[in-house]
């Protein structure tokens, strides 16, 4: 089906008023074998940044640069490096099937390459074994934004094609050391996010851009170069796994892509086309090469010579280089035509080349209830629309929802007992899961798993500790004690109803 037809079908679902309610759903509502889990990342969880041979990362440097909203850093984070046994038990108590976590590249290779750090290998072996001992399946992300600083210093990291070889070496060591037990690999988490935020607006590591926010960078070219190297790194690692490990380890390789859903602000043709372009410059930027072997035509025509070209062999390597596509979906925005290339695009995480203005307001009214994060509006219908769009445009690939969730504020004025009463989060998961189920059962979308972000409150990048996404409350003032929020009980009941 043509992209526009897929978009029209997704919109039609909204027009018909098919959206989530508080219908009773539980594990038994979903297909047999559907996987439920929670998700995390090494930098946001582990802490222990100078222990057991771990090398510094670009986020270690960036988190100490004075840009974090609450002045915090992730040197300790929520200390999962030392408390993983306790945290695995929390997952077991909830009845979760799986845990998605990331490996810190600089724990395996402190300098990004060269000599392997055995202490790092030992740590992840211990974590993987602890999960399996409790019947919890590990889903492992190889890169969740924490590039070894040594590679940034050596050749500017993702801007140099040398990174493809070094990432492939790192990935293969992980396959070799852990692949006998890890059967689900995710090469990259949200390449669109770290490409735009790290190299276009400069609000994430390594903090490069053309504006006064950054000391160095080129917002018009660097995001495209970085994305190209990331895609080729993914495809190279996936090829290594398929050729050398898949037959004996019987695992799978995917990639996790961040995707807002975009609804046209009106039914005007120019706004429908703007929504299409916004999606091309977000999801299509990374998924089109993996499905079709090239970037979307709208990117080719608008970015021109600044968009790298794939050779025939690169295109062949990219096409079909996945067993599943991870989708990190939280929110939905409106889209309308914007041919002015104004600063507003930058503030709304949209590459100005798309000529699409995306914002969660229409006529002054928000698209949905707001969570704590300035970007996160609660629009459950977007989950179903997005799944239908992926099915129709990309041929119904196997999808796993690798992140979905919402945050509350971290305020010293909110007593812990009140912070544990997270009815809003329960409603969020109920409504998004209801829409996901409809996409599977009524629309035939090929979705096989759902990971809630996140198991614990954690260090939330530039927001620091000001944002609480966890199912478990972490008391930052009392030895990082974990307390179950009401959503833990909800998930426990949801998962027990088989």
**Which residue segments constitute the domains of the chain, with CATH numbers given?**
28-260+295-329+374-496 (3.20.20.80)
The three-class DSSP label of residue 99 is: strand
Active-site residue flag, 403: yes
Which entry of 137, 152, 190, 222 is annotated as an active-site residue?
Answer: 190
Enter the DSSP assignment of 456: B
Instruction: Judge contact between 435 and 484, C-beta under 8 A.
Output: no
d(CA 92, CA 377): 30
Residue from 1, 109, 106 nearest 50 by CA: 106
- 417 catalytically annotated: no
CB 306 within 8 A of CB 224: yes
| 375-434 confidence digits (pLDDT tens) | 999 999 999 999 999 999 999 999 999 999 999 999 999 999 999 999 999 999 999 999
CA–CA separation, 353 vs 465, rounded Å?
Answer: 33
Predicted local confidence at residue 497, as pLDDT: 77
Strand order in the sheet with 332-337: 261-264, 332-337, 356-359
CA angle 344, 346, 348 (to 5 degrees): 70
Q: What is the helix, strand, coil percentage profile of the chain, to 5? A: 45, 15, 40
Three-state SS letters, 411-431:
CCCCCHHHHCCCHHHHHHHHH
d(CA 310, CA 235): 12
Q: Which residues of the chain, if any, have pLDDT below 70?
A: 1-23, 339-351, 498
Q: How far is CA 341 from CA 72, 346, 350, in A?
A: 34, 9, 10
* Residue in 137, 263, 276, 403 annotated catalytic: 403
The Cα diameter of the chain in Å comes to: 59
Crossing angle of helices 222-244 and 285-292, rounded to 10°: 40
Beta-carbon contacts of 128 under 8 Å, excluding residues fewer than 6 positions away, are 138, 178, 181, 182
Dist. CA 490–CA 176, nearest whole Å: 38
Position 157 scores a pLDDT of: 98
pLDDT score at 150 = 98
Instruction: State the DSSP H helix or E strand holding residue 345, giving kind and residue range, or none if neither.
Output: helix 343-347
Tell which residue, 182, 45, 177, 31, has the closest CA to residue 116. Answer: 177
Give yes or no for a contact between 299 and 229, defined as CB atoms under 8 angstroms apart: no
Rounded CA-CA distance 19/14 in Å is 7
């Amino acid at each position: 089906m043509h992209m526009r037809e897929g978009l029209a079908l997704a919109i039609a679902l909204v027009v018909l008023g098919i959206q989530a309610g508080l219908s009773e759903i539980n594990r038994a509502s979903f297909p047999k074998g559907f996987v439920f889990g929670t998700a995390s990342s090494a930098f946001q969880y582990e802490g222990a940044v100078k222990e057991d041979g771990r090398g510094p990362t670009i986020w270690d440097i960036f988190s100490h640069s004075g840009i974090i909203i609450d002045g915090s850093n992730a040197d300790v984070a929520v200390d999962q490096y030392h408390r993983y046994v306790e945290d695995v038990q929390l997952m077991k108590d909830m009845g979760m099937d799986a845990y998605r976590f990331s490996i810190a590249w600089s724990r395996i290779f402190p300098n990004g390459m060269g000599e392997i750090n055995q202490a790092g290998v030992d740590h992840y072996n211990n974590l993987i074994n602890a999960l399996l001992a409790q019947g919890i399946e590990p889903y492992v992300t190889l890169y969740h934004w924490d590039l070894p600083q040594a590679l940034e210093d050596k050749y500017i990291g993702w801007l140099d094609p040398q990174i493809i070889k070094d990432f492939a070496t790192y990935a293969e060591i992980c396959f070799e050391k852990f692949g006998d037990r890890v059967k689900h690999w995710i090469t990259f988490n949200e390449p669109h996010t770290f490409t735009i935020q790290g190299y276009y607006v400069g609000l994430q590591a390594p903090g490069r851009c053309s504006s006064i926010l950054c000391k160095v960078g080129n917002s018009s070219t660097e995001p495209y170069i970085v994305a190209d190297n990331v895609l080729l790194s993914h495809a190279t690692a996936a090829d290594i796994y398929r050729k050398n490990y898949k037959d004996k380890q019987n695992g799978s390789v995917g990639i996790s892509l961040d995707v807002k859903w975009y609804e046209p602000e009106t039914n005007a043709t120019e706004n429908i086309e703007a929504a299409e372009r916004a999606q091309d410059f977000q999801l299509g930027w990374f998924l089109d090469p993996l499905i079709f072997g090239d970037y979307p035509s709208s990117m080719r025509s608008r970015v021109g010579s600044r968009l790298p070209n794939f050779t025939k062999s690169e295109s062949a390597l990219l096409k079909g280089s996945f067993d599943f596509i991870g989708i990190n979906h939280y929110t939905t925005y409106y889209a309308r035509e914007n041919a002015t290339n104004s600063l507003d695009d930058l503030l709304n995480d949209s590459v100005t080349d798309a000529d699409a203005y995306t914002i969660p307001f229409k006529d002054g009214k928000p698209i949905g209830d707001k969570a704590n994060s300035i970007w996160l509006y609660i629009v459950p219908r977007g989950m179903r629309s997005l799944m239908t769009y992926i099915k129709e445009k990309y041929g119904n690939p196997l999808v796993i929802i690798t992140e979905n969730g919402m945050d509350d504020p971290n305020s010293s004025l909110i007593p812990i007992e009140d912070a544990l009463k997270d009815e809003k989060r329960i409603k969020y998961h109920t409504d998004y899961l209801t829409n996901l189920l409809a996409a599977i059962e009524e629309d035939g979308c090929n979705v096989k798993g759902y990971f809630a972000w996140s198991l614990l409150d954690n260090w939330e990048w530039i927001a620091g500790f000001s944002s609480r996404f966890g199912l478990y409350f972490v008391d930052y003032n009392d030895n990082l004690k974990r307390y179950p929020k009401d959503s833990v009980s909800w998930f426990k009941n949801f998962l027990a109803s088989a």
